[in-house]
Amino acid sequence: MRRRSLLSASLGLGTLAGLGYVGVNRIAPSGLALHAGSAQAFGTTVTIQVLHPDPASAQAAITAALQQVSLVDALMSVHQPRSQVYQLNAQGQLNHPDPHLLAVLTYARQLSNQTGGAFDITVQPLWQAFSQAQANGQLPEPLALARVRALVNWQGVTTQPDQIELAAPGMAITLNGLAQGYAVDLALAALRAKGVAHALLDTGEFGVIGTKGSDQPWVLGIKNPRQTDALTARVPMDGRALCTSGDYETFFSADFSHHHIFDPATGYSPTPLASVSVLAPTGMMADGLSTAFMVLGADKALALAARLPRVDALLIHKNGSQQRTADFPELSA
């Protein structure tokens, strides 16, 4: 279900696709060697590229970072029966929650407050309703959807250090709008702890450390939401995380009017925007805001971005028109 938002990394050092564990790939312009590793998580291939002079140290750092990604996936998957999110959804409560889960839930509540409920982790029943209807070649019936929408209420998630509880039977959460960004943050911290000064990380959301060599920034390409082989923008990374939400990755109608992002107020997908890309100080913030901005729509999204330090956004409407914050960095595509 998760999005592969950015078409490619314009690295000058190769792309991110299809990497396995390797040794030295190429000598970077700075004289550092490029090392890479990958793992499966979040239903996709997570990849890391590191510039480092020592192969053993580079691979140790990559392994440590991928372990952090796997940890987040194992805790927060809605599909894995052993995950704490799965257990919470199945039982309606969870005892002894992991501190990482509590940290993500704390930010989820903050973001729900900031957005007036536009961001809501309890939309999982809507996803289930649309998925089940799609299996029969249909959309959910309005009355059935109304019953499901009644379960959507971010304020119905009670979080305490020793227990998480959902307010009503049938409620369920999804952290698919935060977990991959949070994994970026943990993985980057692991790389830094191992002495890595230059890296590019892709969990489906993107984070960087340093540069790609010779003081040149890592550059990421944001794909056109209607032309999967074309770029809309090339973004020079400045140390912030970059995340994109779009209507095109998982959709329930051919015109993209029904997709995996839901407006909690209506139970349906927000219609004006095709994609939103957000740069923010942390991966979790960029991940959550990209989803929230899709729901808020352009005017409210841009107004909120203007109030948040070091947050920039590129919004693409379904008709192809674009809006962006004044300081959104961009190279010609």
Residue 213 CA: distances (Å) to CA of 43, 109, 178, 196, 297: 31, 39, 30, 13, 38
Contact yes or no for 310/281 (Cβ under 8 A): yes
Please answer whether residues 272 and 256 qualify as being in contact, where contact means their C-beta atoms are separated by less than 8 angstroms.
Answer: no
Place of tokens 């490029």: 34
Q: Does 159 show up as a binding residue in the annotation?
A: no
Q: In what order do the strands lie in the sheet with 219-224?
A: 6-9, 219-224, 227-236
Contact 77, 218 (CB under 8 A): no
| Residue 325 annotated in ligand binding | no
Lookup result for tokens 């750092």? 61
Q: How far apart are CA 310 and CA 305, in angstroms?
A: 9
Residue 94 pairs in a beta bridge with: 164
203 annotated ligand binder: no
Q: Can you state the angle between helices 283-296 and 298-307, rounded to 10 degrees?
A: 150
CA 63/CA 120 separation, integer angstroms: 33
Which positions make up the binding site? 177, 287, 291
Which positions make up the binding site for Mg(2+)? 177, 287, 291
